[in-house]
Structure 1
Amino acid sequence: MKKIICFYLLTFMVVSQVSGQLQFFKNADFEKIADAHETIATVPFLAKVNLLPEQMDTISTGELANLEKSEGESIQKAIYAWFLQKQEKGKLSVAIQAPLVSNARLEASGIDHKNYLAYSPTELARILGVDAVVMGYYETNQPKAWQQKNGDCEHKNEGTGLAVINFSIFNAEDGELLVKFRNGIAAQNESPNEEIIQALMKKVSKRMAYTKI
């Protein structure tokens, strides 16, 4: 019980520190570089899942790894959906490659979530055949894949969840960092990753060179 209380206190402290705070970097030449871009792609995000001690007792190391893989792919799809939504409304200056295509090309080159950091953004972009690559890190204590697996059972966390995202876009030609932001959001445990990404991306859309306002 003491461990569980400590976990919730730590979660509350982290949520208080990161929720609403946005750390944002934008390359001074982003607009100029983006003018030459036609297609971008996002790779599965690296994900870290924080579970309660009692939940950790019911999951193996392999299952946790698969859970984190699922969360990373879910964020990839949610980001794609956000860009696609902008594209369909005529508010995106580039095309966004479908995750199905991106992941198939990565897999064909022997690249997955375990080793893709061994490749430079330029190498990944060449394999994907795009002008820029979206990649990053995602951390949550309310994994959606866990909730889908366990439904409303006792293993599901209660109350507010924490989602923290580190999001970067790299130029394919020279690997230059174009945009980087880190933000946290407190979300109710029933909030899907799509809603979390929508909330996070809304904060930076006006500063994205690809987005037509």
Structure 2
Amino acid sequence: MQKLLLFVVLCVAFASCGPQIYKAASFQEVSSAHKVVAIMPFDVLIESRKLPKGVTADMILDQQRDYGYGIQNDVYGYFLRQMSKNRYTVTFQDVHKTNSLLEEAGITYEDLRRASKEQICQLLGVDAVVSGSATMSKPMSDGAAVAVGLLVGAWGPTNSVNTTITIHEGAKGELMWKYDYAASGSIGSSRQSLTNALMRNSSKKFPYQRKS
């Protein structure tokens, strides 16, 4: 019975709309010289109609920042596992090095929204950057669910997540690839499980894969 319940929860958690994919016609030509790619912290927005008692706007901002770096680390971990199987034509810069270089340059999490991808690539010494965004909706009418979500990273029963993952090349900062994914979450959904759902789906179309 417990296994059946878990299966139902997972099905609901990752019910999603069909992805939207863009790939530049010049991608193969441009990417042929790419060796190292950096992964940026994700730009996270938590939509809230009404903050429950005890939850402040600063807490929401902190949560967005924590999730942005958390998703960055999750995506890096996913790519590392695939790299160990020799599935990619590029390597990925360690996210600790990426974040350290950004910090040394005085670029904060909030600054990343305004910084050009060309500037970021030059600063990090990479050929391209993987970045992304996630817009999360919480059931703010249920204060208890929100409070629990902020504390332990679980999402409420009627939320949705719209996520985008992109690749920009470093020479001109042009968009080379974009994958949009929309998922609905459920009680017990975590940041890691939502990131895994994004990567599990987007990896099928990820353009740096070696040809079999």
Report deviation, 1:84.
Answer: 1.1
> Cα gap change, 1:211/1:39 in structure 2, threshold over 3 Å: closer, same or farther?
same
Determine if the alignment matches structure 1 residue 97 to structure 2 residue 98.
Answer: no
Report deviation, 1:85.
Answer: 1.3
Percent identical residues: 25
- Compute the TM-score of the two structures, normalised by the length of structure 2: 0.79
- What does residue 207 of structure 1 align with? 205
Match of 1:167 among 165, 169, 172: 165
> Cα gap change, 1:49/1:28 in structure 2, threshold over 3 Å: closer, same or farther?
same
Report deviation, 1:198.
Answer: 2.4
> Cα gap change, 1:189/1:36 in structure 2, threshold over 3 Å: closer, same or farther?
farther
Distance in 2 between residues matched to 1:146 and 1:84, nearest whole Å: 33
Pick which of 36-45 and 111-120 moved more: 111-120
RMSD between aligned residues: 2.7
Contact 2:165 2:179 in 1 (8 A): yes
Match of 2:118 among 100, 117, 122: 122
Contact 2:63 2:150 in 1 (8 A): no
Determine if the alignment matches structure 1 residue 81 to structure 2 residue 77.
Answer: yes
Match of 1:184 among 179, 182, 185: 182
Aligned residues: 192
Give CA deviations for 1:17-40 in whole Å, capped at 9, x if unaligned: x93221110011212222211110
- What does residue 9 of structure 1 align with? none
Q: Which runs of 4+ in 1 moved over 4 A?
A: 145-149
Distance in 1 between residues matched to 2:158 and 2:199, nearest whole Å: 20
- What does residue 44 of structure 2 align with? 47
> Cα gap change, 1:187/1:158 in structure 2, threshold over 3 Å: closer, same or farther?
closer
Distance in 2 between residues matched to 1:197 and 1:81, nearest whole Å: 11
> Cα gap change, 1:149/1:65 in structure 2, threshold over 3 Å: closer, same or farther?
closer
Contact 1:138 1:165 in 2 (8 A): yes
- What does residue 191 of structure 2 align with? 193
Distance in 2 between residues matched to 1:146 and 1:211, nearest whole Å: 41
Distance in 1 between residues matched to 2:90 and 2:182, nearest whole Å: 27
The residue identity in structure 2 corresponding to 1:19 is S
Distance in 2 between residues matched to 1:58 and 1:120, nearest whole Å: 37
Report deviation, 1:209.
Answer: 2.1
Report deviation, 1:147.
Answer: 4.8
- What does residue 150 of structure 1 align with? 151
Structure 1: segments with no counterpart, 5+ residues: 1-14
Report deviation, 1:72.
Answer: 0.8
SS at match of 1:59: coil
The residue identity in structure 2 corresponding to 1:189 is I
